[in-house]
Amino acid sequence: MSPVTPHVATRRILVVDDEANARVALAELLRDEGFEVETAVHGFDALSKLGSVAPHVVITDLQMPGMEGSELVARLLQGSDPPSVIVMTSFGEIAAAVAALRAGASNYVTKPIHFDELLLVLGKVIEHHDLEREVDRLRAQDDGDADRAAVT
Amino acid sequence: MDELLAYVELGDEDTARLREVHAILSPQFPAMANEFYTKILGHPGASSVLSGSDREKLCRTLTEWMSSGLLGPYDEAFYDKRSLIGRRHVEIGLAQHYMLVAMNVIRAGYVSRIFQLAPAGQVLPFITAVHKLLDVELAMVLHHYQLASERKLVERERRHQRDQLAAMQTLSSGLAHGIRNPLNSAKLQLELLERRLRKHAEDPRLTDPTELAHHEIGRLAALVNDFLAFAQPPSMHFEDQDLVVVVRHALELERPIAHKRDIHLELVAEREPIHARVDSTKLHQIIHNLVRNAIEAVAAGGHVELTMFQEGDRVHVVVADDGPGMPDHVRARIYEPFFSTKESGTGLGMSIVHSLVTMHGGTIGLTSSPSGTRFDVALPRMP
């Protein structure tokens, strides 16, 4: 069903946007692609849902009342198993996108969103996310082996 | 200066007489200056401008002025020196009519002294020569008043334009930001509709309209971006670039559209590379807008030619088309924001070109005739 990634069904995505129609449509589009999707209406809402949803990827608008986009990105990434973050930015807000990338966002898409482009970016981000986890796992395993080696 | 002297007919005879007047009157200059300032400073309008000045210094300056006026020579150096005085009058804000009155006071001072002191037979020739000299002096001062008022007019016009532009930028920015979010929502909702329609049936009667709506949203988004580019002049990132490469790249992107309309697109570079410090993204936009404009101006089978050459410390990129040309009233307003002759244009394209060229420290020239239009963008190699 999805051209993006073979593991879509197991992927949880948190969509953060204060524009209801955009949020709902994006969530539905992603669900149609097979993702598991939750939504949040602003940055604080997103942070409060982070624990319960445990998303693999957060797709967030940059311009929302209450919190700078780059600040939200930084706080989303604070946990022990942080999600990857894709920011949605508008033409003329490239500076904000750069700030978000500096804060640790994985990638950005420009509004109005081309859904195919978003899917492509999402695929890459998930792939990268998986690789990172794999590296972490192998490293942990390696350390474990080393520890055992040290013990014996 | 010579023209002025010829106009008041101040000839050699007169200059000789003026030197004689100097010989007779110079001991009187301090008294004349004193009388002058007594009269002038008695007037509240003039005295308010001159108040605070050192009266003795003013008298010395006037004495020197009378002396150098009578002695000449009336060359360019004389003109330059007088220009300083003229500018000073304008700068301190002495109204023109006070200056005219002051000139008359000086005139009267000369006339009465000449009557008193000159030999009887010389009175008339002396007075005539002094009148001519004072006319020259007056013309020079008036010239500065005129320049100042022209400057004021130009400045007022510029300020007006700046205010207008700022208001339009605020409006554009507000409008663009307001349109953008609903546009994004609409596009996503439409995308959802389209995908679900396709899933159920590949029925063009259902999917074609959504595709068209997508296309229209794309146009709206481009329009909003235009507005934002206009409202927020971007910061410049100058880098040494081969302009031929940048221009060629921009041109290649227009080729599909040109091809579709059967328009010949050509780039002729006098040499390659042509290096200059430019912001390549902005130059790209300049070329894109100019070429798009040209493509839309010519009929099928027409030509759009870009020529690049270096001249002194400037690089020229000329975009010429063989379209029908622009009428004068279009040419006069071509860089005005929101001015468009096209049904679907924002009228911002050429305004953006103009501001981007200006931000490069460049200039843009336009010539148009019934056989075509030509934009000549000249960019400094080192802005």
pLDDT at res. A2? 42
Is B253 part of the contact surface with chain A (CB cutoff 8 Å)? Answer: no
- pLDDT tens digits for B144-191? 888 888 888 888 888 888 888 788 778 877 887 788 889 999 999 999
pLDDT of B274 over the 80 cut? yes
- What DSSP element (H or E) covers B324? none
pTM (whole model) above 0.95 = no
Are B192 and A111 inside 8 Å of each other by CB? no
What does each C-alpha distance from B127 to B207, B210, B231 come to in angstroms? 97, 92, 65
The shortest C-alpha distance from B220 to chain A (Å) reads 10
Query: B189 and chain A: CB distance < 8 Å anywhere?
Result: yes
Looking at every residue in chain B, the average pLDDT score rounds to 86
Of the candidate ranges A36-50, B74-88, B130-144, B283-297, the one whose mean pLDDT is the lowest: B74-88
High-pLDDT (> 90) share of chain B, %: 33
Residues of A in contact with B221 (CB under 8 A): 112
Which of A61, A97, A110, A21 has the alpha carbon at shortest distance from B221? Answer: A110
CB A19 to CB B184 under 8 A? yes
Pairing status of strand B303-311 against strand B314-321: antiparallel
B7 pLDDT higher than 80 = no
Does B344 have pLDDT greater than 70?
no
Query: Which of A133-142, B9-18, B39-48, B99-108 shows the lowest mean pLDDT across its residues?
Result: B39-48
* B211-268 pLDDT, tens digit each: 888 888 888 888 887 777 777 666 788 989 899 999 998 888 888 889 989 999 999 9
Phi, psi for residue A146 in degrees, rounded to 5: -60, -40
Contact between A33 and A55 (Cβ < 8 Å): no
The encoded tokens of residue B308 equal: 């690049």
pLDDT at A133: 82
Of A19, A91, A115, the CB nearest to B185: A19
Integer Cα distance of B56 and B29 in angstroms: 13
Predicted local confidence at residue B96, as pLDDT: 80
B30-39, B170-179, B235-244, B321-330: lowest mean pLDDT where?
B170-179
To probe the interface with B, which of A1, A2, A23, A26 has the most B CB atoms within 10 Å? A26
Cβ of residue B192 closer than 8 Å to a chain A Cβ: yes
Query: Which among B188, B199, B229 is the nearest to A26, CB-wise?
Result: B188
Query: Tokens 């595709």 — which residue?
Result: B211
Token pair in block for residue A5: 């990634």
How far apart CA B173 and CA A119 sit, in angstroms, is 30
Question: What pLDDT is stored for residue B159 in this prediction?
Answer: 86
| Residue A91, pLDDT score | 64
What type of residue sits at position B10? L
B191/A22 Cβ within 8 A: no
The Cα–Cα gap between B250 and B246 comes to 6
> With a CB-CB cutoff of 8 Å, which residues 28-57 of chain A face chain B?
28-29, 32
Segment B366-373 mean pLDDT: 93
Q: What is the ipTM of this complex?
A: 0.82
Chain A with chain B: Cβ pairs closer than 8 A: 54
To the nearest whole Å, the CA of B244 is away from the closest chain A CA by 27
Secondary structure E strands in B262-302? 264-269, 275-278
Identity of the highest mean pLDDT range in B24-38, B77-91, B161-175: B24-38
Looking at B92-122, list the stretches that DSSP marks H as alpha helix, in order from N- to C-terminal side: 96-117
Per-residue pLDDT 10s for chain A (152 aa) are 444 444 555 799 999 999 999 999 999 999 999 999 999 999 999 999 999 999 999 999 987 777 888 899 999 999 888 999 999 987 666 677 888 888 999 998 888 898 998 999 999 999 888 888 888 888 888 777 766 666 55
**pLDDT score for A13:** 96
CA distance A68 to chain B (A): 17
How confident is the model at residue A7, as a pLDDT?
Answer: 54
The letter for the amino acid at B235 is S
Compute CA B134 distance to the chain's CA centroid, rounded to the nearest angstrom.
35
Q: Mean of the pLDDT values across residues B32-54?
A: 77
Helix (H) or strand (E) holding A34: none
Q: What chain B residue is nearest to A28 in terms of C-alpha separation?
A: B192
- Contact yes or no for A69/A62 (Cβ under 8 A): yes
Tell me the nearest-neighbour CA distance from B76 into chain A, angstroms: 55
